[in-house]
A and B are shown apart, each in its own frame.
Chain A
Amino acid sequence: MFELRRITAGYGATTVLRDVSLAVPDGSVVALLGANGAGKTTLLRVASGLLQPTSGQLVIDGTPVEDTAPHALVRQGICLVPEGRGIFRSLTVRENLALQARKGTEGDAIARAVEAFPRLGERLGQAAGTMSGGEQQMLALARAYIQSPRVVLLDEVSMGLAPKVVDEIFTFLAGLAASGTSLLLVEQYVTRALEVADYVSMLHKGQLAFAGEPAELAGTDVFATYVGAAVGSH
């Protein structure tokens, strides 16, 4: 199990997250919801080691992680697909995949990636930045996939993509989860996120507003409170 315990974090003098705890049990999908500015991306940055929290810990299987540098967390199986497109735009698709693979296994890794996303196979020699948005996002996901990570942190993977592409991506994610990989999913399409999620956490103004199962949400007060925040009621 991957846990964030009592995380407080921010940028400079601004505190974005206050005392947020969250757990991603093995093999489960956790959706992280919240309005713009609630702190979702910041939480993923902390979880992936890109931002060092001012207090709190990352815990894997009950043991606090000592070295929380991003590359060290990758070795522990924590993998981030960042907001925007998580690819090296100036490198070719093949180079993007090779860089992610362990030394000596580049060929296998590329083969696995092409198996998962056949469309990438046609584009191996192309500079990644020149592909369509959907293909770029597939490459970003493929890069995460070929590491066989324990936990994948996904930040708004559907952003700016056509609905059909989003369908493909969610199908892939469902398959990934079914194969035992845990997912922590930040997503603006609330409905889609709830469809695949086992658990839901909600952030509101940097604090945890709700944690539970999607079913608990239907028609509860918590839901009203959250959506109120999300669409900005007063």
Chain B
Amino acid sequence: MNDDGLVVSGLVVRYGGLVAVDGVNLTAPPGRVTGLIGPNGAGKTTTFNACSGLVRPAAGRVQLFGSDVTSASPPARAQRGLGRTFQRMELFDSLLVRENVALGREAGLAGSRPWHHLRARHADRGAIRAATDDALELCGISHLADRRPADLSTGQRRLVELARVVAGGFRLLLLDEPSSGLDHTETDRFGDVLRTLVEERGTGLLIVEHDMALVMRVCHYVYVLDFGRPIFEGEPAEVVASDVVRAAYLGDETAELMEMEAGLV
């Protein structure tokens, strides 16, 4: 076990003849917010899927806290501390919000052992309840605990999905477009939750995000993809200043505005 967190090296993913991801390297250590940006179709979500084991890479390695998980199953990676959310939220609609969040913890406890799938160990019950309450409160959705996800707004559903992985106690989280569909207050709340996770709990975050202001505000380090290839990496200010990124992705005017934005924040 070492503290590099997630290390992806030389990742290549092909769909049929199409090369969706071509030679991506990135590191997402604990205690840092790492951004992954790029135009639509640049291969960000595919990179995420390869990290969490949902697609099989054609080449390259994925390491988690020092161990090679390139061919490990999604639950095995989760057991090693990797959690994720989805761009199109994947909530358990027939369970209450509280049960959704609790299952974030219970799924990991169940793992691959049949007996643990049947019932919760007595010793675990208190821990599950505590983790659930804590996650609900951190995400500010305690008042929604007894509602069903289907009845909630998009923003609230995003927070439920976040609370679910928070309850899971993962050391590293992949967040896929966490702020899309959120309004301003919800985005702010989201930013606060992320900050608490990183600064107080030492969780590492890797986020794919279109909301550039949020990226500039919360990320410590940013990777930029285009056509599945890495084209730039650096601190947010460097990304904004980069000609490569400007040309490939942002367009001049937007980049200038972003610089202003970043300066203001």
Binding site for B on A (CB under 8 A): 14, 35-37, 130, 156, 159-160, 162-163, 188-192, 205, 227, 230-234
Contact = CB atoms under 8 A, between A and B. Distances in A.
A227 B213 CA distance: 11
Contacts of B258: 231
B71 interface: no
Interface in B104-142: none
Please tell me the size bucket of the interface on B: 20 to 34
B213 A234 contact: yes
A37 B181 contact: yes
A232 B214 contact: yes
Contacts of A163: 247-248
Contacts of A35: 210
Contacts of B251: 189-192
B40 A159 contact: yes
Nearest first, the 5 A-B pairs at minimum CB distance are A232-B211, A160-B41, A231-B212, A232-B213, A191-B251
Interface of A is mostly: loop
Interface in B22-66: 39-42
Nearest to A159: B40
6 contacts: A162-B227, A191-B254, A205-B183, A231-B212, A233-B213, A234-B213
B187 interface: yes
A72 to B, nearest CB: 31
A160 B227 contact: yes
Nearest to A205: B183
B261 interface: yes
Contact of A227 (B41, B187, B247, B254): B254
B252 interface: yes
Contacts of B252: 191
B249 to A, nearest CB: 9
Contacts of B154: 14
Given A159-B39, A189-B251, A231-B257, 6 more contacts: A159-B40, A163-B248, A190-B253, A190-B254, A232-B212, A234-B213
B184 interface: yes
Contacts of A230: 254
A160 B213 CA distance: 22
B263 interface: no
Contacts of A159: 39-41
B254 A130 contact: no
Nearest to B181: A37
Interface in B241-265: 247-248, 251-254, 257-258, 261
Given A14-B154, A190-B253, A234 B184 contact: yes
A231 B40 contact: no
Interface string B212-226: 111000000000000
Interface in B136-185: 154, 179-181, 183-184
Nearest to A12: B150
Interface string B64-80: 00000000000000000
B199 interface: no
Nearest to B257: A227
A23 B248 CA distance: 32
Contacts of B3: none
A139 B187 CA distance: 40
B193 to A, nearest CB: 15
Contact of B210 (A36, A160, A227): A36
A188 B195 CA distance: 30
Contacts of B248: 163
Contacts of A37: 180-181
A183 to B, nearest CB: 20
Nearest to B42: A160
A30 B173 CA distance: 41
Contacts of B212: 231-232
A31 to B, nearest CB: 13
A97 to B, nearest CB: 23
A234 B264 CA distance: 12
Nearest to B180: A37
A36 B180 contact: yes
Q: Which of B42, B253, B258 has the most CB of A within 10 A?
A: B253
A112 B252 CA distance: 36
Given A14-B154, A190-B253, A231 B213 contact: yes
